[in-house]
């Protein structure tokens, strides 16, 4: 055996199981769903299904699907924006300002919500946000007669719940990126006369961009498919494509349509990332 074949064998045998695992757990189920999205009836029906493009046609035939899609994407952008707004400074403080035990303690506080069930977290928010809820009662006890605080079943409530759920992703990814930046780079910038803002803009921000991008992707993708938070916190004001997809599977039992809508959502995500990706690469190249 020549060294090259041996190397090839090593690569194959070492990475093979991982790819096999990926194929079985991600690729095959996705493929099954893709096939399902082209059938005219769900496997629940005892009659044999036939090929159709109707499920994809349904998306374009009805205006409300488009509204739902637009809202889902907007929701994803808002939540990602607020996570970045809160998460990045928090990660910066953790990576560059806070040291030692405090850092561990604060990390624990950030990760703590992850240990509880998502449904429990969201239901806890309903108790906080509703009128006669925790915030409302507290405000009323200090300022009797203050206007009632009732955010439950509103768009802001959905954003609050989702930002709370996904914020740790942003903090953790940005923290890792910021942590890796050598402090001497910042010092070099300062010693060459740059203001601290310029150093941040020209040195720290570009270097931490990969963290921001991966954090945003980790948040944006699940949020535009979210259905549980909009339903519980948004009431009639929460409407997303994810909720409609869930209903196609659980209520209408129209799995093919649900699958088709899922793939449309996936395509939208891919298109968005396709647009952003070259831009990010250029940014990374400049840095």
Binding site for other proteins (CB under 8 A): 41, 43-46, 62-64, 67-68, 71, 130-132, 153, 231, 234-239, 244, 247-254, 257
User: Can you tell me which residue has the tokens 């939540």?
Assistant: 79
Nearer to other proteins, 71 or 273 (CB): 71
The token pair at 134 is 């925790």
Contact (Cβ atoms closer than 8 angstroms) between residue 211 and residue 174: yes
Q: How far apart are CA 207 and CA 112, in angstroms?
A: 28
Tell me the closest approach of the beta carbon of residue 167 to other proteins, in angstroms. 24
Tell me the closest approach of the beta carbon of residue 237 to other proteins, in angstroms. 5
Q: In Å, how far are 62, 126, 134 from 141, measured between CA atoms?
A: 49, 20, 11
Nearer to other proteins, 29 or 89 (CB): 29
Nearer to other proteins, 107 or 153 (CB): 153
User: Can you tell me which residue has the tokens 């300022």?
Assistant: 143
Tell me the closest approach of the beta carbon of residue 95 to other proteins, in angstroms. 37
Nearer to other proteins, 32 or 185 (CB): 32
Tell me the closest approach of the beta carbon of residue 210 to other proteins, in angstroms. 34
Nearer to other proteins, 191 or 236 (CB): 236
Tell me the closest approach of the beta carbon of residue 131 to other proteins, in angstroms. 8
Q: Indicate the DSSP class of residue 237.
A: G
Burial of 42-65, coded b for 16+ CB within 10 Å and e otherwise, reads beeeeeeeeeeeebbeebeeeeeb
Nearer to other proteins, 45 or 85 (CB): 45
Start-to-end C-alpha separation, the chain: 44
Q: List the one residue out of 215, 206, 211, 213 whose CA is nearest residue 185.
A: 206
Tell me the closest approach of the beta carbon of residue 219 to other proteins, in angstroms. 22
Backbone φ/ψ region at 145: left (φ over 0), alpha (ψ -120 to 50), beta: left
């Amino acid at each position: 055996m020549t060294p090259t074949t041996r190397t090839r064998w090593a690569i194959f045998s070492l990475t093979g199981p991982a790819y096999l695992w990926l194929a079985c757990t991600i690729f095959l189920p996705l493929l099954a769903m893709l096939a399902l999205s082209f059938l005219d009836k769900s496997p629940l029906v005892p009659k044999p299904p036939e090929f159709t493009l109707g499920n994809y046609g349904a998306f374009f035939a009805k205006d409300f699907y488009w509204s739902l899609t637009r809202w889902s994407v907007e929701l994803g952008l808002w939540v990602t924006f607020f996570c970045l707004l809160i998460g990045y400074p928090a990660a910066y403080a953790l990576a560059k300002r806070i040291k030692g035990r405090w850092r561990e303690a604060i990390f624990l506080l950030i990760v703590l919500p992850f240990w509880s069930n998502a449904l429990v977290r969201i239901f806890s928010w309903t108790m906080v946000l509703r009128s006669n809820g925790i915030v409302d009662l507290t405000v009323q006890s200090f300022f009797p007669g203050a206007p009632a605080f009732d955010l439950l079943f509103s768009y802001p409530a959905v954003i609050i719940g989702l930002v709370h759920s996904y914020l740790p992703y942003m903090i953790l990814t940005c923290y890792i990126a910021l942590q890796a930046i050598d402090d001497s780079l910042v010092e070099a910038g300062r010693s060459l006369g740059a203001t601290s803002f310029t150093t941040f803009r020209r040195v720290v921000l570009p270097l931490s961009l990969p963290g921001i991008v991966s954090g945003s992707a980790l948040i944006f993708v699940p949020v535009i498919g979210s259905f549980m938070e909009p339903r519980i916190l948004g009431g009639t004001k929460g409407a997303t494509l994810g909720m409609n997809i869930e209903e196609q599977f659980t209520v209408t039992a129209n799995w093919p349509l649900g699958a088709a809508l899922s793939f449309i959502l996936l395509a939208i995500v891919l298109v968005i990332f396709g647009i952003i990706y070259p831009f990010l690469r250029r940014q990374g190249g400049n840095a």
